[in-house]
Structures are given as structure tokens and as C-alpha cells.
Chains A and B, each alone.
With several copies, the nearest count.
Chain A
Amino acid sequence: MTDKPVVLVANRGEIAMRIIAAARRIGASPVLAASTADADSPAARAADRVIVIGAAPANQSYLRPEQVAQAAVHAGAAVVHPGYGFLSEQPKLCELLEEEGIAFAGPRPETLRAVGDKGSAREVAIAAGVPVAAGVEIADVSNVVHLGEQIGYPLLIKAIHGGGGRGIRLVTNPEELQTLAPQAAAEAEAAFGNGALYVERYYGKARHVEVQVFGDGFGRAWIFGDRDCSVQRRHQKLIEECPAPNLTDARRKVLHDSSRALVEALKYRGAGTVEFLVDTETEDVVFLEVNARIQVEHPVTEEAFGVDLVAAQLRLALGQDPELPEVGPVPPAAVIELRINAEDPEADFMPNSGTISKLSWPRGPGIRIDTQIEEGYKFPPYYDSLMAKLIVRAHNRDAAVAAIRQAARNTTIEGLKTTLSMHDFVLSHPDFIAGAVPTSWFGPTWEARKENNA
């Protein structure tokens, strides 16, 4: 036994590698809680010890709070880091650990509950003075036209207890509203056991901009700038960058100040993200949600500001100073991240698995690779398709775009289909190069490319 604190890594893939690296940075001993499919993964080899918590399917392993908590007890863990996805925003894991006196590298359970539901998150945001989309709950689905007048068109009908885009309807006029509201209520009732709906202003050409926050749990807030994540396909982020390009000082101030107010109001603990829509047709900026975890795209912020957010999470959870600096609103660098997924962009982004037969990464200053894959690694079919994140930092956005385009071209991954070719298309596109595309940009642009080539 050593007297190093043990960090239980309750995740897999690249974020497991990342947490292991952070554990080593703070002098802790990383132990991996893995499914049988990952018991011999690169992350397993990088950890000091591996505890098999269940079978390959995530719902028999990574999604089981009691199994993860049991592994933490077995490991003698001082802290559990849940990564993103899986149990990262589940109050249950946090509570089980609290009972065992083990720290959770994330917000308190009550924070997770407060921001975990769209309705309550919106209330929290409003209370903290964060701008939200004009919206109102539907009291009576047969009497909705006055709500449309109040909010303006186009608008969205959303299920209050919904998620994943289900039950959402786009409405452009009063007749549609009258017809679609009862349908949406029935669908929400069927899908979520609750037919409650609200209507909300719809922004068809908005950007997705988010603010990286960190709280000490007692009301102190750090703001680490913003990220633009507008290159999305079906709400899945493909490319992220820090800082968000072409953002006026005034808008940036609204985003940062609101996020700070929210962290302070929640006495938020650890790393989190406040997501916003930034409209490109009006001056509107509206709150979307709080992601109460470290995010996939955290490296662009780390590289832009020169900080280690995951190490800060672990330090805070261990009762230490998170060792984070106060920084200005705009970082001294421009950073872009590509998500390289095991998907075939020529076949509707169909995921695929297989053995990595050849792998070669670009090298050089400002290039960072967060990944779990290596030559010979069998990319498993059980989990999400993220293979690697390629992150490049440069002195301004133009240089960063040029550098990451070349870095992507200097990346070789053989053995399965990847999204690298799609990235080359985006990084070479004048709209992306100009900066600040809306979230609605990628889908039709990518489809049009195929038509143009046909």
C-alpha cells in the first residue's frame, strides 16, 4: 500500500485515459472500473489497477451506480471521477458515495437534480438573471393561440419532461399551433408518462456557444471563456473551438456574467458548462442548459487558457485548492478540436467497429491528441463511436484552422471508417473558415456536397 490517494476512474475510452493522466499529475493512484470488454484496454494498462464491474453492455456495468460505488469501496478510493455520459450526472452515484465517505468529482446531488431537468434548470436560470428564450407552459392544449401571439413565430412545442429531441415540434403559424399542440401532448404522455408541454421561441440560425465554469462549492466562480460548438450533425457536436469566433464584447459579457451568476447562485461545485444559443439574426442570447460534468470538448479550453480542469476537479474533490488561475474573458490563443469518430461519413455516419490496423498521429507544437486507441486496438461495438480528439492551438483562429486542417491530413487511421474526411471538408469550407456558422449549417451543407459530387 502507498499513501497516495486512490482515484477511481468510472468511465472508459479517451476520457478514462484523460482522468488517469490527471490523477498522475496530482500524485494520486488511478484505478479503473471497467466492463469485461475494457478489462484489457489501453486505459486498463495505464491504470495502477483494474476492477471489473460488469459485462460489456453499459447497462450491466458503466450505468450501474451501485456497481461503481462497490468498486470504489473495493479500491479504497478517496474520490470517484465519473467522466462524461454514463453516471456523470446521476445523483444516485453521488449519494451512494457520500454514504461511504467517498468524494464524487462533480456537483452535489441537489445541484445535479436542480439542473438535470429542463423545467427546473430554466427556473434556476431565470432566478439567477440568465436570459432564457421567451416561453410559457401550456395550461390547456385546446387554447394555445394566444401563447403564439405572446411569444412570436416560429416557435417550438416541447415536452417539459422530455429529452433527446423527442416530442419537439416546430410551429410557424397559429393554425399549426392549434393542430400540433394536442398531438405533442399525446406523444409526450405516451413517451414520458407526462403530457406537460411548453412553447418557446425558435431560433433557426443560431450558434451553439457555451461557457466553461468552475465553482468551489461555496459560491466562488471561475469563468474560463467560451466555446463555439456550432458544427453539429443532428445535435451531435463535431468540431469545437475556443474562443467562440466573431462574438462581440457585449455578447461575450452577457454569456460570462450570466454563467458566473448561475455558478454563484447554485454554489456550484467543480467543472460545468452553461450552454447558450446565440442567434445570428437577432441580438438574442438564450440559455439552453447546464451540463454538470466535464465535457468532451474541455481540451480546447484547457489549451487556450493553459489549465488542467480535470486535475482541478480531482483536487477540489480531495479537499485541496483546485489551483486554478483567474483569467480574462478571451484566451491568448485560438484552439480547435475535431472529434474523430468511428463512423462512415459516406454512409450516413454509420458507426463501425474493428481493429485499428495502422495509426499515425501528427506531431508538433500546439498539437494534442486525447485518445485511447493504438495500433492493434479492437475498437468495440458496445459504446459510443468517439475514437480520438485532435486538438490544435495556434496564435489566432486563421492559424489554428490552417494548422488543424494540416494535422488532420497528417493523421492516419486504418482498419475502420472514420470521420476524418468530413473534417477535411468542413475545415476547407469558406463558411467555416469565415467563422461563426449556425448549428443548422452542417447538415444541408454536407448533403449538398454529396449532390454536387454526384
Chain B
Amino acid sequence: MAEQPSWQDLLDLVAQLNESNFESAAVSYGNISVTLSNSDTFVGGAAAPVAVAPVAAALAAGTPVLTPAAAAAPAAPATPAGETIDAPMIGVFYRRPSPGADAFAQPGDRVEADTTIGIIEIMKLMNPIAAGKAGVLGEFLAQDAQAVEFGTPLVIIDTNA
């Protein structure tokens, strides 16, 4: 494929489809795919919207701290834009070594690949989480003491800064 559309192109398409009359739409271009539906019974291109349903149900059922499963999947729409540092395991994410202590890292901090940005506790075992890449931290997407899954985005990182 000659050139990949930019993220902006994709947003434009979504905007265009949003203004259209279609009940549902699925567009794929290379490894980019967009699936939209106005209908809650959409079952064409079933994967994306159906996968979101149980997550919505879980959220509605009052489990706010757990990042939805579908968000961990690469193509899911809830993944935030830009690069992120993602949870390498399921567990509970802590930003501080102990309650009341300073956070390992703050938005705006410059980090190297081996800088610890938090801890994930799994069955009472504390696992330090390294940034994995150098850059400047942005917003934390996972709260302190939040239950996270494999792939849950923890914090935005700008690797070009």
C-alpha cells in the first residue's frame, strides 16, 4: 500500500461516516479498520462491537477500576492515541512504593527504558514496571491501586520529546 492514511485521515472518515445515513459501516484499508454502527443489534463484522458489549456490561455492573478487556486488543477503539506504556501482566497497579510515599514518576518526567514507573502486584508479589522506552511521560491512564490486565495502557509516553 503506497501510503498509510494518517490518524487524522481516519478521524475524518469517522466524521464523514457519522454524518452519513448508514446504519452500520465497516471499512478496512491495509491493517486499518473502522467498524461503526448506529444499531445495538449490529452483527456484521461482528468482532469489534460485540466484543465491546460485555465490557460495557461489566462497567455498568459497577466495576469501574478494571480496564475493559477489549481495550487491550490492538484495534479496539478505546485505546488512547499516541504511544503508551502498557501493563505487562494482570494485577493491581501502584504508582507509589508504599502508601503515602512519593510516586515513582510524574507526568512531565523524562524516563529511560529502565526507569521504574510503578509496581504491579500479583498475588502479593510486587513487580516493578519499567518504562521500556525512553521519553517524556504524559497523563497516567491507570489510577493508583487500579486493577489492570495484560495490555492495559498505564501512561502516555512521548518518545519524540
Give chain A's interface residues, CB within 8 Å of chain B: 1-2, 34-36, 39-40, 44-45, 47-55, 61, 66-67, 69-71, 73-74, 96, 355, 357-358, 375-376, 378, 414
A49-B54, A49-B61 in contact; A40/B47 too (CB < 8 A)? Answer: yes
Please report the C-alpha to C-alpha distance between residue A358 and residue B49 in the assembled complex, in whole angstroms. Answer: 12
Would you call A67 and B54 a contact (CB within 8 A)? no
Query: Which of A2, A34, A49, A53: most chain B Cβ within 10 A?
Result: A49
Q: Are A376 and B43 in contact (CB under 8 A)?
A: yes
A45, A47, A61, A69 interface centre (most CB from chain B within 10 Å):
A45
Q: Is the CB of A44 within 8 A of B47?
A: no
Assuming the contacts A40-B70, A67-B122, asked whether A49 and B57 have C-beta atoms less than 8 A apart, the reply is: yes
Residue B151 lies at the interface, judged by CB distance under 8 Å to chain A = yes
Q: How far is the CA of A118 from the CA of B69 in the complex (A)?
A: 40
27 A–B pairs (Cβ distance < 8 Å), ordered by A: A1-B62, A2-B61, A35-B150, A36-B72, A39-B72, A44-B54, A45-B50, A45-B54, A48-B58, A49-B57, A49-B61, A50-B55, A52-B90, A52-B150, A52-B152, A53-B90, A53-B149, A53-B150, A54-B150, A61-B150, A66-B123, A66-B125, A67-B150, A73-B123, A74-B66, A358-B41, A414-B41
B61 touches A70 (CB 8 A): no
Known: A40-B47, A66-B123, A358-B41. A47 touches B54 (CB 8 A): yes
- Which residues of chain A are near B61, meaning CB under 8 Å? 1-2, 48-49
Which B residues lie within 8 Å of A48 (CB)?
Answer: 54, 57-58, 61
Q: B33 at the A/B interface (Cβ < 8 Å)?
A: no
Contact A376 B54 (CB under 8 A): no
In the bound complex, what is the Cα–Cα distance between A74 and B69 (angstroms)? 12
Q: Which residues of B contact A52 (CB under 8 A)?
A: 69, 72, 90, 149-152
Question: Does the CB pair B51–A378 fall under 8 Å?
Answer: no
With A45-B50, A355-B40, A376-B41: A51-B57 Cβ-Cβ less than 8 Å:
no
Provide the residues of chain B in CB contact with A70, threshold 8 Å. 90-91, 122-123
Residue on A nearest B122 in the bound complex, by CB: A70
| Shortest beta-carbon distance from B36 to chain A in Å | 17
B125 nearest CB across to chain A (Å): 7
Contact A55 B123 (CB under 8 A): no
In the assembled complex, the CB of B54 is this many whole angstroms from the nearest CB of chain A, namely 5
User: In the complex the two chains form, what is the Cα distance from A375 to B62 in whole Å?
Assistant: 28
The answer to whether A39 and B90 have CB atoms under 8 Å apart is: no
Which of the listed residues A39, A53, A66, A67 has the most CB atoms from chain B within 10 Å of its own CB?
Answer: A39
> In the complex, A357 Cα to B41 Cα: how many Å?
6
Chain A residues with Cβ below 8 Å from B40 are 355, 357
A44, A61, A70: most-surrounded residue (chain B CB, <10 A): A70
Q: How many A-B pairs fall under 8 Å by CB?
A: 94
B89 at the interface (CB under 8 A from A): yes
Q: Is the CB of A54 within 8 A of B53?
A: no
Residues on B with C-beta less than 8 A from A40 are 47, 51, 70, 73
How many angstroms from the CA of A34 to the CA of B151 in the assembled complex? 12
Q: How far is the CA of A50 from the CA of B53 in the complex (A)?
A: 11
Neighbouring B residues of A1 by C-beta, 8 Å: 61-62
The yes or no answer to B142 lying at the interface (CB within 8 A) is no
For A376, give its contact among B47, B123, B125, B150 (CB under 8 Å): B47
Identity of the chain B residue whose Cβ is nearest the Cβ of A53 in the assembled complex: B90
Q: Contact: A66 with B122, CB < 8 Å?
A: yes
* Supplied contacts A39-B69, A44-B51, 18 more A-B pairs, CB within 8 Å: A1-B61, A34-B69, A44-B69, A45-B51, A49-B57, A49-B61, A50-B55, A50-B69, A51-B149, A52-B151, A53-B150, A69-B123, A70-B90, A71-B90, A96-B123, A355-B40, A376-B42, A414-B41
Whether A54 pairs with B123 at a CB distance below 8 angstroms is no
Residue of A nearest to B121 (CB): A70
Contact of B73 among A39, A45, A69 (CB under 8 A): A39
Q: Are B72 and A49 within 8 A (Cβ)? A: no
Query: Is residue B63 contacting chain A, with contact meaning CB distance below 8 A?
Result: yes
> A74-B90, A375-B43, A376-B41 in contact; A49/B150 too (CB < 8 A)?
no
Name the residue among A36, A52, A55, A378 with the largest chain B CB count within 10 angstroms. Answer: A52
Chain A proximity of B59: nearest CB distance (Å): 9
B69 adjacent to A51 (CB under 8 Å): yes
In the assembled complex, the Cα of A358 lies from the Cα of B125 at a distance in Å of: 44
Residue of B nearest to A68 (CB): B90
Bound together, the chains give a CA A375 to CA B43 distance in angstroms of 8
List B contacts of A376 (CB < 8 A): 41-43, 46-47
Most chain B Cβ neighbours within 10 Å, of A54, A61, A69, A96: A54
Question: Does B147 interact with chain A (Cβ within 8 Å)?
Answer: yes
A67 and B89 within 8 A (CB): yes
Please pick, from A61, A74, A358, A375, the residue contacting B147 in the complex, using a CB distance under 8 A. Answer: A74
Contact between A49 and B123, CB atoms less than 8 A apart: no
Return chain A residues, CB-CB under 8 Å to B55.
49-50
CA distance A50 to B76 in the complex (A): 14
Closest A residue by C-beta to B63: A49
Q: Contact at A49–B69, with CB atoms within 8 Å?
A: yes
CA distance A73 to B125 in the complex (A): 14
